[in-house]
């Protein structure tokens, strides 16, 4: 599921002999293997050496070798013994072995640690290292059809899960109870796990990333979730807002203003628009209704495992939108100091505009949880 044309173009345009990818998002992208311990145990590095005109090499800790061979797409898997061998030392050996030690190599200087880079420079004094973080993010940003289909499937399943779980929740439940019901529903519907689950009610809604706790839902509470589940190795990242029982007139007014701006934003996206323009159009739209934007961005691209990725829709990002980009759109809305609303849907930039891939009509009114 690699966008081979863009990757080859990048190597060619920057005249690189190889890409040396070390971050979880890039090794996952290039190898098709997600190595969990690469995230949880940072010293246990995994990397992909992707030469311009030869097959790639995948370097992993020997603990992960069987997984790399079972699930990966790279044939040349090499290993190091943790603690006995320096992972960077093994990487240097491979760079030499592949004839790249005096060549121009793309590296991730926003991921490589100070120590790792110092070791690389010392061992490969003839190599030229070129920062490549943004460029690799741009390769990943335009999805292949297979990637887009799997991410979309994860979103659609997540949407059903939220509605199904919430239909069985209401006044008297704790935030934790509702979160658990969402997880149980997700597992029953085939999810492999939870990427993230923010869920909050009432005044807790103002914290974007609070762990669901013991607050008891009361009639009239605003209620929201920002959640990602894994399906078939791909993650969703979706938000929905509701009320416990019927919304008050004020809640309805606030939500309607937010949702109207949200819909206009979804409908305004088109290729060629810059990320910064998407942000500004939403900010100005809400400002006309008398509300400030409550987040420094209004959405983002997403990786296979759900991280924020290019293009991030913030006011300083001049990256133009291209057909095939997937965007999670999520303007922040906090009309009062004690209440926040959150919607997040998936959009694909197309040749002529954009297509909302989630069932966003489900956001027409706030979802209503049961009252006693």
Q: Pick out residues in 79-98 that bind its own copies (CB under 8 A).
A: 81-84
Nearer to its own copies, 252 or 283 (CB): 283
Residues of this chain, 130-169, that bind its own copies according to CB under 8 A: 131
> Using CA atoms, how far apart are residues 300 and 40, in angstroms rounded to an integer?
24
Distance CA 363, CA 235 (A): 21
d(CA 133, CA 90): 22
Binding of residue 113 to its own copies (CB under 8 A) = yes
Helix/strand/coil for 351: coil
Closer by beta carbon to its own copies, 141 or else 312 = 312
The stretch among 13-21, 202-210, 259-267, 358-366 that binds its own copies (CB under 8 A) is 202-210
Other beta carbons within 10 angstroms of residue 143's beta carbon come to 22
**Chosen residue from 93, 164, 192, 322 binding its own copies by CB under 8 A:** 192
User: According to CB under 8 A, which residues from 302 to 321 bind its own copies?
Assistant: 306-308, 312, 314-317
Question: How many C-beta neighbours within 10 Å does residue 328 have?
Answer: 25
Residue 183 or 357: the one with the smaller Cβ distance to its own copies is 183
Whichever of 98 and 305 has its CB closer to its own copies, that residue is: 305
CB of 295 to its own copies, least distance (A): 7
Closer CB to its own copies, residue 51 or residue 228?
A: 228
Nearer to its own copies, 109 or 267 (CB): 109
295 and 308 in contact (C-beta within 8 Å)?
A: no
Size of the site for its own copies (CB under 8 A): 58
User: What does the block give as tokens for 63?
Assistant: 């603990």
- 32 part of the interface to its own copies, by CB under 8 A: no
Q: Is 194 in the site for its own copies (CB under 8 A)?
A: yes
d(CA 195, CA 189): 15
Q: Within 203-222, which residues bind its own copies (CB under 8 A)?
A: 206-212
Nearby residues of 122 by Cβ (< 8 Å), 6 or more positions away: none
Taking the complex as a whole, the smallest distance from the CB of residue 302 to its own copies amounts, in Å, to 11
Contact assessment for residue 334 and residue 206, using Cβ atoms and an 8 Å cutoff: yes
Q: Which is nearer to its own copies, 54 or 63 (CB)?
A: 63
Q: Rounded CA gap, 361 and 352, in Å?
A: 21
What's the DSSP call for residue 3?
Answer: -
Burial class (CB in 10 A: 0-12, 13-18, 19+), 70: exposed
Q: Which stretch binds its own copies (CB under 8 A): 34-42, 141-149, 343-351, 352-360?
A: 34-42
Q: Which residues of 247-258 are buried (b: 16+ CB within 10 A; e: fewer)?
A: beeebeebbebb
Work out the angle at residue 234's Cα, subtended by the Cα atoms of residues 228 and 235, and round it to the nearest 5 degrees: 10
Q: 75, 184, 284, 359: which one contacts its own copies (CB under 8 A)? A: 184
Query: Judged by CB under 8 A, which stretch of 108-116, 147-155, 161-169, 361-369 contacts its own copies?
Result: 108-116
d(CA 28, CA 71): 11
Q: Which residues bind its own copies (CB under 8 A)?
A: 35-37, 39-43, 62-64, 66-67, 70, 81-84, 109-117, 131, 176, 180, 183-184, 187-188, 192-194, 196-197, 206-212, 233, 295-297, 306-308, 312, 314-317
């Amino acid at each position: 599921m690699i966008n081979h044309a863009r990757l080859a173009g990048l190597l060619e345009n920057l005249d690189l002999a190889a890409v040396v990818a070390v971050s979880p998002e890039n090794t996952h992208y290039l190898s098709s293997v997600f190595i969990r311990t690469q995230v949880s145990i940072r010293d246990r590095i995994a990397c992909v050496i992707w030469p311009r005109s030869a097959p790639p090499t995948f370097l992993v800790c020997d603990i992960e070798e069987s997984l790399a061979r079972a699930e990966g797409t790279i044939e040349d898997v090499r290993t190091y013994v943790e603690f006995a061998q320096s992972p960077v030392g093994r990487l240097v050996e491979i760079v030499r072995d592949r004839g790249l030690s005096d060549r121009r190599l793309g590296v991730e200087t926003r991921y490589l640690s100070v120590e790792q880079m110092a070791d690389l420079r010392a061992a490969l004094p003839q190599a030229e290292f070129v920062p490549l973080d943004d460029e690799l993010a741009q390769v990943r940003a335009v999805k292949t059809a297979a990637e887009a289909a799997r991410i979309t499937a994860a979103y659609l399943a997540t949407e059903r899960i939220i509605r199904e779980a919430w239909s069985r929740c209401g006044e008297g439940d704790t935030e934790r109870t509702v979160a658990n019901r969402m997880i149980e529903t997700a597992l029953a519907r085939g999810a492999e796990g939870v990427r993230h689950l923010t869920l909050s009610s009432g005044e807790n809604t103002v914290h974007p990333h609070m762990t669901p706790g013991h607050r008891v839902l009361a009639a009239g509470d605003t209620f929201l979730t920002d959640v990602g589940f894994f399906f078939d190795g791909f993650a969703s990242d979706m938000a929905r807002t509701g009320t416990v029982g019927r919304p008050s007139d004020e809640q309805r007014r606030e939500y309607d203003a937010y949702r109207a701006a949200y819909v206009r934003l979804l409908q305004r996206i088109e290729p060629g628009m810059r990320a910064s323009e998407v942000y500004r159009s939403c900010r100005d739209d809400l400002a006309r209704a008398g509300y400030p934007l409550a987040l420094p961005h209004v959405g983002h691209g997403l990786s296979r495992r759900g991280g924020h990725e290019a293009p991030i829709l913030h006011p300083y990002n001049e990256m133009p939108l291209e057909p095939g980009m997937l965007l999670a759109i999520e303007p922040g809305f906090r009309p009062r100091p004690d209440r926040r609303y959150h919607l997040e849907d998936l959009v694909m930039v197309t040749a002529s505009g954009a297509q909302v891939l989630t069932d966003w009509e489900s956001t027409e009114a706030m979802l209503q949880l049961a009252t006693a």
